[in-house]
Amino acid sequence: MAIGTQSPEGYGGALYVNFGSTATITGSSFVGNITGYRTYTTGGAPSTKGGAILAGGDISVRDSSFIGNRSHNGGAIYAFNGAKLINNIFSGNSVTKAPGSAGGGYGGAMVLTGPSTVINNTITANRASENTGGVIAPVAPGESVQIVRGGGSPSCRV
């Protein structure tokens, strides 16, 4: 359980999964974590990622909850290499645009930038200042994110 932690570097409020690494998370709670809003000495701020988790490597999350986490991008999770998310709850997570930055404010619940599977998750009441409060999935041509509701039938492909 990670409650109210903050990443001073602005990456993964509770957990950072390094590129080339693998993480499996089961039955965990991530509540009220934030990525620190760093500022440049010349003004402005870089966009932070992953209010609870920033994953550069492979990540699988099952039977966990993400409540009230905050960042500039990916309020709960930002996954560079995609993710496998099964039976989780994402609620009340939020993102805001970085001060003085041209980017940020995307994916209130999550940003998935690689092939991903999202199965039987509850995604509700997440907010974004610039774009989608739920899921942002800007994958490369030929890749996909499959979102499946309970019962196993695909509800959409992004």
Write down the pLDDT at residue 130: 74
Q: Give the domain extent around 105.
A: 2-38+46-157
pTM of model > 0.85: no
Write down the pLDDT at residue 133: 72
66, 2 contact by CB (below 8 A): no
**Domains in the chain: how many in total?**
1
Write down the pLDDT at residue 157: 37
Say which range, 8-12, 25-29, 114-118, has the weakest mean pLDDT. 8-12
Q: Which residues of 65-85 are buried (b: 16+ CB within 10 A; e: fewer)?
A: bbbbbbbbbbbbbbbbbbbbb
Residue 12: is its pLDDT beyond 60? Answer: yes
Question: pLDDT per residue over 23-43, tens digit each?
Answer: 999 999 999 988 866 544 445
Residue 5: is its pLDDT beyond 60? Answer: no
CA pair distance 29, 105, nearest whole angstrom: 23
Record the tokens describing residue 67, joined without a space: 């409540």
- What does the chain come to in residues? 158
145, 157 contact by CB (below 8 A): yes
Q: Which residues partner with 11 through β-bridges?
A: 49
